[in-house]
Amino acid sequence: MSEQHLDEDLEEDELALYEHHRILVDKGQSSVRIDKFLTERIANATRNKVQQTIDSGGVQVNGHSVKSNYKIKGLDDIRVLLEKPPRDTEVISENISLDIVYEDTDLLVVNKPPGMVVHPAHGNWSGTLVNGLVYHFQHLPEMKGNVGRPGLVHRIDKDTSGLLVIAKTEETMAPLAAQFFYHTIQRTYLALVWGEPEAEEGTIVGHVGRSAKDRKVMDVFPDGSQGKHAITHWKVLKRLRYVSLVQCTLETGRTHQIRAHFKFLGHPLFNDAMYGGDKIRKGTQFAKYKSFINNCFDAMPRQALHAMSLGFVHPITKKNLYFEAPLPADFSVVLQKWEQYVQLD
């Protein structure tokens, strides 16, 4: 069980400068170095940053300071005071090629390639979609409380490909954001999942929130005890015996929603390392099959998820707009490999 909270007796300005974590180690936890353990547990914490925090006395175990090579034990009570990086709100403009699907004076729709981070953050201060946006488009607006992310009203994961809408003016930003908030945006994704769902279509309803075991992973809480309300509608487009191509329509847009929901359903996304999809989940352990799977993993070294379509009301013209992006090359190649494999098998 892991508990994360803010100590109430600290000054407000001190709270603003530090993240406070308290982790009670599971009784059955294996013995690992504390720097490795904390790097895996705390979102956006690098090994180097954790080691610096330990060296400066910012980590205590059972009330005592420790060294980076300390091996944690079950029921250890770990407290961490992690310095937040200075909030650098200036985004460096970079001449990054963008695949612009649509553009007018108020907004644009971009087809993001897999592997590109949407906005600058820990460990990714350059090479992001936003770095490219500020190069190609000056004076992009920023939402209040979203400094350093000009034009953004939503985002998709680094290794998810597909469509995003970007606001070019103040007048379009709030109305676009409102459409996401009130779930009136039409968003469909294509996912390749392990196995074959029993039904042809269905709806997954289950709160999505951070896992107590790993803060970078999202868990599903069907009883609604934690996390945020999340709904994913899905239907099978193609059954390929060992995997299935599924279309997902989001009613809500939580972090890792599709990835967490399909793991919960027992059909994790193909090659989704964070949610258990990077192992053989259906099929044999024969060398030939293993080799085929590894070739597919190499061809698409990411989760098989693509934001295929985006539909919304233009905030200024009030017209209904709808866009689709074809599958990127890596996804198409893997899908073709599976189609050929099941024909020959």
Domain ranges of the chain: 2-83, 100-181, 186-344
Task: For domain 2-83, give the CATH superfamily.
Answer: RNA-binding S4 domain (3.10.290.10)
Average pLDDT over residues 170-185: 86
What is the mean pLDDT of the segment spanning 151-164?
Answer: 94
Structure tokens at 96: 């990054």
Give the three-state DSSP class for 40: helix
Higher pLDDT, 182 or 68: 68
Beta-strand runs (E) in 121-261: 161-167, 186-194, 201-205, 207-210, 218-221, 231-239, 243-250
Sign of the torsion angle spanned by Cα atoms 202, 207, 209, 212: negative
Mean pLDDT on 125-149:
86
Q: How confident is the model at residue 89 (pLDDT cuts 50, 70, 90)?
A: low
Q: Given a cut of 50, is residue 231 above it in pLDDT?
A: yes
Arithmetic mean of pLDDT over the chain: 89
Please report the pLDDT score of residue 1 as a whole number.
Answer: 35
What digits encode the pLDDT tens for the residues 303-327?
A: 999 999 999 999 999 999 999 999 9
Domain spanning 100-181, CATH architecture: 2-Layer Sandwich (3.30)
For residues 98 and 133, what is the distance between their CA atoms, to the nearest angstrom?
A: 8
Distance CA 203, CA 231 (A): 7
Q: What is the DSSP track for 46-114?
A: -HHHHHHHHHTT-EEETTEE--TTPBP-TT-EEEEEEEPPP---PPPP------EEEE-SSEEEEEEPT
Section 139-167 average pLDDT = 88
Catalytic pick among 7, 13, 104, 157: 157
Which residues, 6+ apart, have CB-to-CB distance to 285 below 8 Å? none
pLDDT digits (tens, 9 = 90+) for 276-304: 999 999 998 899 999 999 999 999 999 99
pLDDT over 50 at 215, yes or no: yes
**Residue 31: which residues within 8 A CB-CB, separation 6 or more?**
71, 72, 73
Residue 90 has pLDDT above 50, yes or no: yes
**pLDDT per residue as tens digits for the range 239-263:** 999 999 999 999 988 999 999 999 9
Beta-bridged to residue 190, according to DSSP, are: 247, 306
Among the four given CATH numbers 3.60.20.10, 3.40.50.1860, 3.30.2350.10, 3.90.70.10, the one describing domain 186-344:
3.30.2350.10
Q: Which of 116, 52, 111 has its CA nearest to residue 82?
A: 52
Instruction: Find which of 91-95, 115-119, 225-229, 235-239 is predicted with most confidence, using mean pLDDT.
Output: 235-239
pLDDT above 70 covers what percent of the chain? 92
pLDDT of residue 264: 97
* pLDDT of 180 strictly over 90: no
Predicted local distance difference test score (pLDDT) of residue 8? 28
pLDDT at 9 over 80: no
For residue 88, pLDDT over 70 is answered with no
Work out the percent of the chain whose per-residue pLDDT is above 90.
Answer: 68
Is 159 catalytic? The answer is: no
CA distance 81 to 96: 37
- Whether 2-83 shares its CATH topology with 100-181 is answered no
What's the whole-model pTM score? 0.75
Q: Distance between CA atoms of 79 and 249, rounded to whole angstroms?
A: 40
User: What is the C-alpha to C-alpha distance for residues 265 and 286, in angstroms, rounded to an integer?
Assistant: 26
* Cα(218)–Cα(274) distance, integer angstroms: 9
